[in-house]
Amino acid sequence: MVNLVLVLGDQLSDGLSALAEADSATDVVVMAEVASEASYVPHHPKKIAFTFTAMRKYAAHLQAQGWRVAYTRLDDADNAGSIPAELLRRAEEFGTDRVLVTEPGEWRLIAALRELPLHLTLLEDTRFICTHAEFDAWAKDRKSLRMEYFYREMRRKTGLLMEGDKPVGGKWNFDHDNRKPASGDLFRKAPPQARGDDVLDQVLDLVEARFPDNFGTLRPFQFQTDRAGALRALDHFIIHALPDFGTYQDAMLADDPYLYHAVIGLYLNAGLLDPLEVCDRAARAYADGDAPINSVEGFIRQIIGWREFIRGIYFREGPDYTSRNTLGHDRALPALYWGAETRMNCLHHAVGQTRDLAYAHHIQRLMVTGNFALLAGANPAHVHEWYLAVYADAYEWVEAPNVIGMSQFADGGVVGSKPYVSSGAYIDRMSDYCKGCHYRVKEKTGPRACPFNLLYWHFLIRHRARFSGNPRMAQMYRTFDRMDDARRETVLADADAFLQKLDAGETV
């Protein structure tokens, strides 16, 4: 009997396990642009356009390789509207009940597929370095899961930056040499821009017509949409940005959205690039003397360390992970996240860039938008929905542990041992945002005090019982306790007043 081979929008890889298991002479690849995937959160129009264009081009690539592809476009009259419904339709059309699929990256879709009255073979996603079984074996019996130790295992497993069983350069981690602020006057070459073509143009028109109200700017569309383009983006990064990646990894500049970041997360997550090929390219740049160890090690750690660790957590923690709310935060996500005006220059830039590019780099996500949502006590489910919607690289397996865990501490410390909170001083040190801000980063109280300064203490005091015993946070509590009573009261009262304005929908 014919197999239907389901290929999802983030499974655009020739090495996909479902394709490897199938026979191109007899089986049928099923791909579908469906309303349910395109609207279960209000995705950024660029994310939808990237996905549909890359899917259409990948379908053509499979056909050129001899596969029979049953492809459904969003505007096809007989589109059944969801992945499960499309599978049922195709099963009837091809007279089969057999489906091969590589495990999807979201519990939601895994559950929906399992409920189908079809004979489903769910295959492991071999595009990752660490299997579920390996992650669970590593995690089992550990009191806490820390990325650094997991990362060392991945270095050993892959042999990346290893000399025998020792790390190259004598250290596993060179972060000590990183984290410098960047300067605005250096010329940095932006990643390669999309080359227009008929497929992309058609999809852009479709997305414009079907998703006119989604938050985000569709044109100009800058992303690559096929493997050749993704490889060009990787080349660009290795040559132009990798050498300084480590040093300026945490820096933020108002006029430079990318700095020395790779801007390849969306290509990796959609399957257009393979994590090991990317790391091999970086390791080769080090071996050839083209990039220093602090950058190459830092970059490889993000991919074989953080990316794999985060995925391990998502599948280990289970489907309820996205509804966790350990800190009991319940404030609605402030309207400024969806584009309402704000006087906070850092948020104005981080959100504005997100709206225009469907991209922000890690520190903007963690220490600006994430930090503010956490300090303000935003409901983590709302925060999760926002991140899943607005970034072109967002899929739940990678977004949720970063948001629910790393950024919002809503998982109670599974991903991180302490919450990532900071006052305005951190943002001032790592960016040029504060110079152009309505608020004053050095002011701790009063109407012009930086809101991060006010909310930082408010957060710590709200959660004193939980965090004051954490050795990594004790110093913060000592600092607060050393303030005189009047100052402590003013800080907290000013923070309350700020939160009231936020809740009232006033521009803050």
Instruction: Choose among 478, 470, 475: nearest CA to 417.
Output: 470
DSSP letter for 182, please.
Answer: P
**Are the beta carbons of 439 and 344 closer than 8 angstroms?**
yes
Query: How buried is residue 296: exposed, middle or buried, by Cβ count under 10 Å (0-12/13-18/19+)?
Result: buried
Nearer to ligand SF4 by C-beta: 440 or 487?
440
**303 lies in the binding site for ligand FAD (CB under 6 A):** yes
How large is the C-alpha radius of gyration of the chain? Answer: 23
Output 373 or 434, the one with its CB closest to ligand SF4: 434
Cα dihedral: 333, 338, 342, 344 (round 10): 70
Q: Which of 27, 37, 317, 428 binds ligand DLZ (CB under 6 A)?
A: 37
The verdict on 367 binding ligand SF4 (CB under 6 A) reads no
Of the residues 84, 104, 191, 243, which one makes contact with ligand DLZ according to CB under 6 A: 104
- Binding mask of the shown chain, residues 382 to 421, with x at each position contacting ligand DLZ by CB under 6 A: -------------x--------------------------
Closest listed residue to residue 243, CA positions, set 178, 311, 296: 296
Q: Does 424 bind ligand SF4 (CB under 6 A)?
A: yes
- Give the per-residue contact string, 58-97, with ligand DLZ (x = CB under 6 A; - = no): -------------------------x--------------
Is residue 450 part of the contact set for ligand SF4 (CB under 6 A)? Answer: yes
DSSP type of residue 171: -
Least distance in Å: CB of 442 to ligand SF4? 9
How many residues belong to the site for ligand FAD (CB under 6 A)? 27
Look at residue 405 and give the partner it binds from ligand SF4, ligand FAD, ligand DLZ, none, a contact being a CB closer than 5 to 8 Å depending on partner kind: none
For residue 486, give the DSSP letter. Answer: H
Residue 361 lies near ligand FAD (rule: CB under 6 A): yes
Q: Which does 393 bind (CB under 5 to 8 A by kind): ligand SF4, ligand DLZ, ligand FAD, none?
A: ligand FAD
Partner interacting with residue 27 (select from ligand FAD, ligand SF4, ligand DLZ, none; CB below 5-8 Å by kind): none
The length of the chain, given as a count of residues:
508
Does the N-terminal peptide bond of residue 220 adopt cis geometry, omega within 30 degrees of 0? yes
34 sits near ligand DLZ (criterion: CB under 6 A): yes
Could you say whether residue 221 binds ligand FAD (CB under 6 A)?
no
- At position 456, the amino acid (one-letter code) is Y
**Taking CB under 6 A as the rule, does residue 406 contact ligand FAD?**
yes
Give the count of beta carbons closer than 10 Å to the beta carbon of residue 21: 15
Instruction: Rule CB under 6 A: say whether 441 interacts with ligand SF4.
Output: yes
Question: What is 310-361 written as a DSSP string?
Answer: HHHHHHHH-GGGGG--TT---BPPPGGGGT---S-HHHHHHHHHHHHHS---
Whose structure tokens read 């049922």?
A: 88
The listed partner (ligand DLZ, ligand FAD, ligand SF4, none) that binds 305, CB under 5 to 8 Å by sort, is none
Residues that bind ligand SF4 (CB under 6 A): 344-346, 424, 427-428, 433-434, 437, 439, 441, 450-452
